[in-house]
Structure 1
Amino acid sequence: MDTNKITDVCCQMRFLANRQNALNAPVSTTDVTNIREGILLIAKDIEHEQPVLSNQLMMIKNSLFKEIPANWNTIYIYINSFAFGRAIEVLDILLAQSCCGQGDWWQLIHPRIAQASKKLFLDGSYANAACDAFIEINDRVKRLFQVVKPGEDVPDGDAAMKRVFSTKNPLIEFCDRSTDSGANTQKGFMEMLAGAMSALRNPKAHSNIQIGQEDAMRRLIFASMLMYKIDEAVLYSKITEPLKLQ
């Protein structure tokens, strides 16, 4: 597996995704070609060792961008946000697996998530490690609620995420919501956080699940992405966050 190629494509895609008003900004044909060809090469490179992820990349490749005619001889190309995000997620999994094989996987994980989950993961308690990562996110958001709304009853789980990161009257913002891109960012991360609380925070409460190492890894990567985004939101909203008691 060529990790340099994967890193290069990831960087190209994140650069496009992080542009101002990224969803409404046209993409050059050069960028489209480079990214599609890069995804194709990666998919072919991993087709024997990672057939499932290879197939996912092959299916996603042609959906990464959407073409919209401006007039009879001009076509603008835009990012397809769902396919783009899924492709980056698959590439991140490949990089994490590569790092795991080299003993460096935990460098990719948010420090709060590592503190909550690393020992359990290394002991083979994969389901508990994954659950505790999302419990840590829930606990952090509840503490942030107490900072912004001291004395009020603290919501929990998906209700906490929808209250703190609301699309209408958020207590904490991820970015400037006055643009379409900013409003979509607020809505998307609020929904991802709320969904994670419902689906991933404590699935063992519903059934005695057992998950494998790779599934736990994917969940910890997702939890880390959400936790790093909360870091950005706290910084952007100028929140003074209390130190966590060890």
Structure 2
Amino acid sequence: MVDEDALRAAALAQRLAAELAEYSRGDVSAAEGSQAASADVASIKTSFDERIVDGDLRSATRSRFHTEHYADAVEAGVKCLCDVIRSRSGSVEDGDALMTSTFSPKAPVLRINAGRSKNDESEQRGHMMLCQGVVGSWRNPRAHSLIEDSPERTLMMLEMIQSLIETTKSSTRTRKRK
């Protein structure tokens, strides 16, 4: 048995030595990788500046994004969406209640289209549900737990939020503010 233990220990030592050698060689490529990562971060920051053009969203998220606080940028972006919806609708609600009371297909406060056909009703419902989904799946988890978002994923989420903000800003109020 001692021989088997010795053989296992020797095999483990060889694997560890091989891994150590691999990591030691990786120092040069790690430095190159770090430079590439810096270039990628600069590129994604430029992409943010080119692609996030809504003034409200940009104001709420740019400093967070540029300082690499990506989850905070997403949370702030969703809060900005809610603020735009509240401002346009006059509602004081938040979350699902805000989206339902504002974009309800049957009696919306804000109408995103003419509302004359089943397709219009479906589009209205879809916008309401997308807004609800963004709050439920993007804002709430980041508000209640620590989440790490990549810059690419953050930019994708902010672009979606921007689209929802643009649609909301171009909507028509159908009844007086509450």
TM-score normalised by structure 1 residue count: 0.50
Deviation at 1:206, TM superposition (A): 3.1
AA partner of residue 185 (structure 1):
E
AA partner of residue 127 (structure 2):
F
Q: Does 1:129 align with 2:73?
A: yes
Higher relative contact order (CA 8 A, sep 6+): 2
AA partner of residue 103 (structure 1):
T
Deviation at 1:240, TM superposition (A): 10
Query: Among the aligned pairs, what percent are the same residue?
Result: 23
The secondary structure found in structure 1 opposite 2:139 is: coil
Q: Does 1:175 align with 2:119?
A: no
Deviation at 1:118, TM superposition (A): 0.5
Q: What are the superposed Cα offsets for residues 26-76 of structure 1, whole Å, 9 maximum, x if unpaired? A: xxxxxxxxxxxxxxxxxxxxxxxxxxxxxxxxxxxxxxxxxxxxxxxxxxx
1:215 to 129, 132, 153: 153
The aligned residue for residue 47 of structure 1 is: none
TM-score normalised by structure 2 residue count: 0.68
Q: Does 1:117 align with 2:61?
A: yes
Superposed, which structure 2 residues align to 1:1-246 within 5 Å?
100=43, 103-109=46-52, 110-146=54-90, 154-233=92-171, 236-237=172-173
* d(CA) in 2 for partners of 1:214, 1:174: 29
What count of residue pairs does the alignment treat as equivalent? 135
Deviates more, 1:198-207 or 1:213-222: 198-207
AA partner of residue 141 (structure 1):
I
Change (3 A) 1:181 1:201: same
Q: Is the 8 A contact 2:103 2:110 kept in 1?
A: yes
| Unaligned 5+ runs, structure 1 | 1-96, 242-246
Which portions of structure 1, spanning 4 or more consecutive aligned residues, are displaced by more than 3 angstroms? 236-241
* d(CA) in 2 for partners of 1:188, 1:102: 31
* d(CA) in 2 for partners of 1:239, 1:107: 36
AA partner of residue 237 (structure 1):
R
AA partner of residue 46 (structure 2):
G
Q: If you compute each CA radius of gyration, which structure gives the higher value, 1 or 2?
A: 2
* d(CA) in 2 for partners of 1:192, 1:111: 21
- What is the alpha-carbon root mean square deviation over aligned residues? 2.5
Greater share of residues in helix: 2
* d(CA) in 2 for partners of 1:128, 1:205: 8
* d(CA) in 2 for partners of 1:190, 1:179: 17
* d(CA) in 1 for partners of 2:142, 2:72: 8
Deviation at 1:122, TM superposition (A): 0.3
